[in-house]
A and B are shown apart, each in its own frame.
Chain A
């Protein structure tokens, strides 16, 4: 079966500086690919590039095995995906209107988008907030609305740009669990940018380590943690190893 997304020679430049220069990246249907790396490594720029939100140069961009003609097909392809940012970025209006915005932008009538948006809010446990103003939500609630808004469009690929970064540990844990369940039940693939190692094992099928815009290693979480391919990857996973060792000693 063809990968959902197969991108080669991905180059993103900002202010004349190359911030992403990745040779090859694939995302399989239904898989969660986590991306980790130090600050400024180019993780978010890579996500924005794959989601076609930046002026970007691809050697080749294939979607479900088919070469995509960019930028002509960018809008059609963006409607196959969704992005959740670190900030909820809700618009002025009710929670329900926000959750249904992606469907409205695709031309759906209120009779279609309202029940779909309400159903997704219900699945994320915030259906009771539907009529509330989006300006009156807590950080955790707002991020749940943002995820409901993204998933209501039934994307094939969900791009998550450090979506739990602004949440406290309890809200983060609860949302992580719900999101994992939703992705699995919908069969949605995810490209998950994080700097928190603890989020990787419960979420990711594979991990990519990135630094200075280049992909240093891709593999299962087990492979990357136990067989780091470069000194930088070893340094990055060392934190997780130290945590495990500390816990073992405590036991």
Chain B
């Protein structure tokens, strides 16, 4: 208990004193996970809508791959991205290993199946004739997609919340492709691992409080968006 008390005191000290390193790490965490979530939205929502609306030969297999991807272990993603970006790997010439970009790539791969799978099930929960009704009202394909996304927005924003929650909390992939380099690729989760290994539990508790605050802030904003007004 004393340890936790010391940790909270330390956390308050770091927060109140405006510890530069702490805010840098927090900002990088938000930038990496926010960008990865944004990219997963760009990729996952259109694919989820298409999977919900179209029928093709290997659709069942594709859906099973997406759902399996929702449980993809971050260390497996970290391993694959490391192999691809390794200096002697197929994309080694890009020089991305141990950079925030590598971490964004890994986290995008983790979040995209979550956004895709939950978007697909959200669209499938709408009335099966709704897309016919929208088409019959004179909608183009793009207008149809826009209206279906709007109708399923509660589920889709929930998918974004789930995707963001998964990547901001992961540590395995970020550690493997980012290497936890101070001032460059250190994020809140990898910094916590390091501080615990060094026995600095008070700093680790301070970092965890900042991480939880960050998650709470972003999830609250997304939830407000989800539950807000519902004009057409």
**B150 CB contacts on chain A under 8 angstroms:** 91-92
B139 contacts A105, C-beta separation under 8 Å: yes
The answer to whether the Cβ of A79 comes within 8 Å of any Cβ in the partner chain is yes
With known contacts A78-B136, A97-B232, A89–B129 Cβ distance under 8 A: yes
Q: How many residues from A make CB contacts under 8 Å with B?
A: 27
A101 contacts B232, C-beta separation under 8 Å: yes
Cα of A41 to Cα of B232 in the assembled complex, Å: 36
B135 contacts A53, C-beta separation under 8 Å: yes
User: Of B137, B140, B151, which is in contact with the most chain A CB atoms at under 10 Å from its CB?
Assistant: B137
Closest residue on chain A to residue B143 by CB atoms:
A105
The answer to whether the Cβ of B230 comes within 8 Å of any Cβ in the partner chain is yes
Cα of A163 to Cα of B130 in the assembled complex, Å: 15
B137 contacts A53, C-beta separation under 8 Å: no
Number of A-B contacts (CB under 8 A): 60
A91 contacts B151, C-beta separation under 8 Å: yes
Q: What's the minimum C-beta distance from A151 to chain B, rounded to whole angstroms?
A: 12
A75 contacts B138, C-beta separation under 8 Å: yes
Q: What's the minimum C-beta distance from A211 to chain B, rounded to whole angstroms?
A: 23
Cα of A11 to Cα of B147 in the assembled complex, Å: 30
The answer to whether the Cβ of B132 comes within 8 Å of any Cβ in the partner chain is yes
Q: What's the minimum C-beta distance from B126 to chain A, rounded to whole angstroms?
A: 10
A102 contacts B138, C-beta separation under 8 Å: yes
**A75 CB contacts on chain B under 8 angstroms:** 138, 140
Q: What's the minimum C-beta distance from A137 to chain B, rounded to whole angstroms?
A: 15
**B134 CB contacts on chain A under 8 angstroms:** 91
Which residues of chain B from 84 to 103 have any CB-CB distance to chain A below 8 Å in the complex?
Answer: none
The answer to whether the Cβ of B231 comes within 8 Å of any Cβ in the partner chain is yes
**B147 CB contacts on chain A under 8 angstroms:** 91
**A32 CB contacts on chain B under 8 angstroms:** none
Contact mask for chain A residues 218-242; partner B; CB cutoff 8 A; 1 contact, 0 none: 0000000000000000000000000
B137 contacts A102, C-beta separation under 8 Å: yes
The answer to whether the Cβ of B57 comes within 8 Å of any Cβ in the partner chain is no
**B136 CB contacts on chain A under 8 angstroms:** 51, 53, 78, 81-83, 159
Contact mask for chain A residues 144-174; partner B; CB cutoff 8 A; 1 contact, 0 none: 0000011001000001000000000000000
Cα of A101 to Cα of B136 in the assembled complex, Å: 11
The answer to whether the Cβ of B133 comes within 8 Å of any Cβ in the partner chain is yes
The answer to whether the Cβ of A188 comes within 8 Å of any Cβ in the partner chain is no
Closest residue on chain B to residue A54 by CB atoms:
B132
**A89 CB contacts on chain B under 8 angstroms:** 127, 129-130, 133
Which residues of chain B from 118 to 146 have any CB-CB distance to chain A below 8 Å in the complex?
Answer: 127, 129-130, 132-140, 143
A sample of 7 inter-chain contacts (CB < 8 A) reads A75-B138, A78-B138, A89-B129, A101-B137, A105-B137, A105-B138, A106-B138
* Other 5 A-B pairs with CB < 8 A, given A89-B129, A105-B140: A83-B136, A89-B133, A92-B151, A98-B232, A149-B137
Q: Which residues of B contact A (CB under 8 A)?
A: 127, 129-130, 132-140, 143, 147, 150-151, 230-232
Closest 6 CB pairs of A and B: A93-B232, A83-B136, A79-B138, A97-B232, A89-B133, A102-B137
